[in-house]
């Protein structure tokens, strides 16, 4: 059973390019054997050397394939500006291996947790290999922790009708989010960022960043639902990766709700090792800023992602420094009545718009393009074509927003998760109809496949 699952996962990954399969299997094999030398009973100096070796292997592979050209090109560009031309620095034109950012983080989590004694090293390559390569999470997460997924792989699984049915419903939810919400909002974002809506203006920026905000949310949360649903069909439970992030009242709360598997990984394996919040406010803010800049860079080898992370790092540091825990919006008890509701929604709207401004850098191909787009906020020229674009944005974003409100109120993983089987079956049939009628006219790959 495990061998068949591992073989199927490797076939799934190697179908696109078998050479990248060899890279992943090689890294997996190295970490499997290194972990055997990280047992707590061994001398600490020896264990630390093996840990450093694993980190060097994983980060070197990630650095070469994802970041070498970025840093080499940036260095050459800087030297050109200083008058040093034609530097003999080679560039490696290679294709980014799919999912490398995700499975590298899972391998690092495994060796670090074994080193700290949080999990025992796996004695079976089949178990560990399947933990890394299990196909639902392999390409774009959620990033799995060894303490969560490995025990599920190592134990016998049996068919569970409730789990299977919920898995199907999660898949339907993900398809609606991706094919209906994300793909249609992508048409608006592409038009705004590509110049088809005219020169940048307040309305073009609004359509572009709002369209992309709902595209990337529908796209990635949709993929997560499909991945989690597929895993449940196989008897596995993946971690929840999104909890209605656009209802956040602070940026700190936002990162507790958005891409949770990444934000908790960064907290545990980067922010806390840097010092976390142990050494005063200034060092805490520094650690937050460094963590978020590296989080931005994790998304891609481009200065636009660095700025995206820096924006979040600055705002998180601001919240940490100027808003003590008792005064943070998500921790405060709002006043009752209309005043309390308005306060909550004002905070939610503000945080959503901060995120949308950062997305201008996330989506734009260059820093100059992002700045050029945002410069249009000071121009309010109106064109009649904006009416259709804004109506389309509302039609495809508001239903997902309402679904989030429903799930937030009921603490559910998908709408109507606790409804009777007959009702959920009817919702699944309705999902097929909606998919048939309203799926985006231009199919597109998942946004996070590129990371």
pLDDT confidence of residue 85: 54
pLDDT confidence of residue 147: 92
The pTM of this model reads: 0.89
Tokens matching residue 293 = 């800049």
Distance CA 233, CA 165 (A): 8
Across all residues in the chain, what is the average pLDDT? 87
- pLDDT tens-digit series, residues 338-392: 788 889 999 999 999 999 999 999 999 999 999 999 999 998 988 999 999 999 9
pLDDT confidence of residue 238: 93
Contacts of 269 (CB under 8 A, 6+ apart): 105, 108, 109, 112
415 has pLDDT over 70 = yes
Concatenating the DSSP letter of every residue in 93-153 gives --PPPTTHHHHHHHHHHHHHHHHTTSSPPPS-HHHHHHHHH-HHHHTT-PPPPHHHHHHHH
pLDDT confidence of residue 90: 56
Concatenating the DSSP letter of every residue in 256-271 gives HHSSHHHHHHHIIIII
**Residues with catalytic function:** 299
Q: Are 320 and 288 in contact (CB under 8 A)?
A: yes
- pLDDT tens-digit series, residues 267-326: 999 999 999 888 888 888 999 999 999 999 998 888 999 999 999 999 999 998 887 654
The number of C-alpha atoms within 13 Å of 128 and in the hemisphere containing its C-beta is: 26
Average pLDDT over residues 121-137: 91
- pLDDT tens-digit series, residues 191-210: 999 989 989 999 999 999 99
174 has pLDDT over 50 = yes
335 has pLDDT over 70 = no
| Alpha helices by DSSP H, 234-323 | 251-257, 260-266, 272-274, 281-299, 303-322
- pLDDT tens-digit series, residues 37-65: 887 777 777 889 999 999 999 999 888 88
Q: How many C-beta atoms surround the C-beta of residue 64 within 10 A?
A: 12
């Amino acid at each position: 059973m495990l061998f068949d699952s591992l073989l199927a996962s490797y076939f799934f990954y190697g179908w696109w390019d078998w050479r990248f399969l060899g890279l992943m299997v090689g890294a997996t094999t190295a970490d499997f054997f290194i972990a055997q030398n990280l047992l707590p009973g061994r001398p600490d100096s020896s264990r630390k050397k093996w840990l450093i070796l694993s980190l060097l292997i994983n980060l070197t592979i990630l650095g070469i394939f994802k970041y070498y050209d970025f840093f080499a090109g940036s260095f050459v560009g800087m030297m050109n500006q200083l008058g040093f031309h034609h530097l003999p620095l080679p560039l490696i034109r290679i294709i980014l291996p799919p999912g490398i950012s995700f499975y590298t983080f899972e391998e690092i989590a495994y060796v670090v947790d074994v080193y700290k004694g949080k999990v025992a090293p796996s004695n079976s390559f089949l178990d560990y290999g399947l933990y890394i390569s299990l196909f639902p999470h392999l390409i774009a997460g959620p990033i799995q922790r060894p303490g969560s997924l490995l025990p599920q792989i190592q134990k016998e699984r049996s068919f569970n009708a409730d789990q299977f049915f919920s898995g199907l419903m999660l898949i339907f939810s993900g398809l609606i989010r991706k094919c209906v919400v994300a793909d249609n909002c992508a048409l608006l974002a592409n038009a705004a960022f590509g110049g088809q809506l005219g020169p940048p203006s307040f309305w073009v920026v609004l359509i572009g960043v709002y369209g992309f905000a709902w595209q990337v949310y529908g796209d990635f949360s949709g993929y997560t639902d499909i991945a989690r649903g597929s895993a449940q069909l196989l008897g596995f439970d993946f971690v929840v990766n999104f909890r209605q992030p656009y209802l956040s009242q602070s940026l700190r709360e936002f990162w507790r709700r958005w891409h949770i598997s990444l934000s908790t990984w960064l907290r545990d394996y980067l922010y806390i090792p840097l010092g976390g919040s142990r050494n005063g406010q200034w060092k805490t803010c520094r650690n937050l800023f460094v963590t978020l800049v590296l989080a931005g860079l994790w998304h891609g080898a481009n200065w636009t992602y660095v700025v995206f992370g820096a924006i979040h790092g600055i705002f998180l540091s601001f919240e940490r420094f100027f808003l003590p825990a008792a005064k943070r919006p998500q921790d405060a008890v709002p006043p009752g009545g209309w005043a309390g509701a308005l306060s909550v929604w004002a905070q939610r709207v503000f945080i959503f718009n901060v995120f949308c401004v950062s997305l201008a850098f996330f989506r734009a191909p260059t820093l100059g393009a992002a700045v050029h787009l945002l410069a249009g906020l000071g121009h309010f020229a109106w064109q009649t074509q904006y009416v259709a674009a804004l109506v389309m944005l509302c039609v495809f974003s508001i239903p997902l927003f309402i679904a989030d409100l429903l799930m937030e109120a009921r603490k559910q993983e998908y709408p109507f998760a606790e409804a009777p089987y007959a009702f959920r079956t009817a919702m699944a049939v309705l999902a097929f109809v909606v998919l048939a009628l309203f799926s985006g006219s231009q199919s597109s790959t998942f946004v996070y496949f590129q990371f």
